[in-house]
Each structure stands twice: as structure tokens, then as C-alpha cells.
Amino acid sequence: MNTPFDTISEAFSRTAAHYDAFADHHPNLTRTRNKVYTHLARHLPPAARILEINAGTGTDASELARSGFSVHATDIADGMLARAEQKALDPALGGRMTVQKCSFTTLNQAAGGPYDALFSNLGGLNCIPDLSPVIRQIPAVLKPGGVVTWVLMPPVCLWELAEIFRGHPRLAFRRLARQGTLTHLEALYFNVYYFSPGKVQEWFGPRFEFLALEGLSVITPTAESKNLAIRHPRFYRLLAWLDDRLAPLPLWNSLGDFFILSMRYKV
């Protein structure tokens, strides 16, 4: 392991099979993903061409391709890419999903551009402390007028803060560490960083126009929570009802497990 990216790549390669298995029969995670797809569809024309970074096992890419978009899925973890390549073979996708090993640090190497959209889901970009190096590369892969939709983790998550009442202060305040939070996956350690929507918009700068911001899992549990929705479906539906109404509102849209931010490249 020579760099943090080597460590992250190896960690996610090791967990690829578990990653897909965890998503099976997971109504909370399914709802989270579907809200992201709905957000994307509001800002993209039908059959838009999407470049996905941090695509993982291709779950999002395959679903978006199934709905009519063309998606070029990129990642650096070989284990994740192998599973994505298998998903891309599904005849139901009509050849609308392609896969490439490519880092978001070298977007100019992504094949097939320019694209209508640049997409990253579920905190894939939270593994670096500053997003401006990625943003500087966007003109190399995105059409003028194209859309950037990123799903990122903010510093404040109401559901995690509530862990203080269960006697878990480290979990409750883990996102507030200024130099990032050390996390581990498959016995490997790396830092995760948390960004406010305002800071991310500042990094985008004047060449990008704000389109939309909404919180994700503000009232509903975090994506890691699988059992509440299964064991207490009526209570979960109530939380989801509240979440749908509060997540788009100012302040609330910054307090979820994630936030969805869309920006337009103005040139």
C-alpha cells in the first residue's frame, strides 16, 4: 500500500461481494437510492449520457441504464469493477452501461466524453479532503450546460447525533473532526472527510450554476441501518413521510446522512 488510494482500492475490492449482499432486501438503502435517481431524472433529459465516478459494483449504473440513460461507470477498485462488468452484460440494459478502471483524479482518461452529466453517489468523494482538484477536471469530460450531481456526506447528521443518547459519543460526533475521521474497512484504515453544501459550492466557483440541494436520510436512518425498516415498517413509513417533506427545506437539507447537490457547468 503506497498511497491512501491504494489502501481504499484494496479495502473496497475486498468488500465487493459483501457490498452487494448487504444491499439485498434493504428497503432503507433502496429508498435512498431511488430518491437519488428521481433527483437525477429531474435535471437530465431522457437518454442522457452519464459519467459515473466511484461507481463501485455498478448498482447505480445498471439501474440508471435500465431506465434509459447511458452510463459509463468508473472506479479504481478491481473487485468492484469485476462485479460492475458482470452487471453490464445484462441484456436488459441494451448495451447502455460500460465500465472502465479510472480514478476521479485523472478524469481526462475517461473514455467516451464529453458527457451530459457527471455523477457520484453515496459519499464516494468523501475520501479526499478537498474537492477542488476534481472540479478543475470537469471541463475535460462534461458538455457545456451539463449537470454535476454528487451525493456527499455532511459534517452534521441528525441520526448520528442522536447516538449521544445511547451512550455512543464517538459515533455521535465522528463527523466533526477537522482533519478527517479515521475509518476502517476489511482491516484497512483510511480517512473520511465531511463537507458542508456551502463549502462544496464554494469549491465549484463561478463557472457552475446552482441547481438543487436536498438532504438524504434526514429523518430516516442512515444507509447503514437495515433492520429498522424491516422490523418496524409502519414506524419507518412515518419517518419516510416526514423525511420527504423536510429534506428539501433550507437547513434540513444539510443535516442528513447525505446531501444531493446538483450544479450546471456554464462555461
Which tens digit of pLDDT belongs to each residue from 40-54? 999 999 999 999 999
Angstrom distance (rounded) from CA 37 to CA 71:
13
Instruction: Give the model's confidence band at 267: pLDDT under 50 very low, under 70 low, under 90 confident, else very high.
Output: confident
Predicted local distance difference test score (pLDDT) of residue 2:
56
The enclosing H or E element of 81 equals helix 78-88
Q: Which of 171, 158, 162, 161 is nearest to 243 (CA)?
A: 158
- Structural domains in the chain, sorted by start: 4-265 (3.40.50.150)
The residue type of 10 is E
Segment 131-146, tens digit of pLDDT: 999 999 999 999 999 9
Predicted local distance difference test score (pLDDT) of residue 1:
47
Q: Which of 29, 33, 141, 125 is nearest to 76 (CA)?
A: 125
| pTM exceeds 0.85 for this model | yes
Residue 143 CA: distances (Å) to CA of 39, 172, 204: 20, 41, 16
Is residue 174 pLDDT above 90, yes or no? Answer: yes
Q: What are the residues facing 71 on neighbouring strands? A: 50, 97
Predicted local distance difference test score (pLDDT) of residue 3:
73
Locate 136 and state its grid cell. 478543475
Burial of 215 (0-12, 13-18, 19+ CB in 10 A): buried
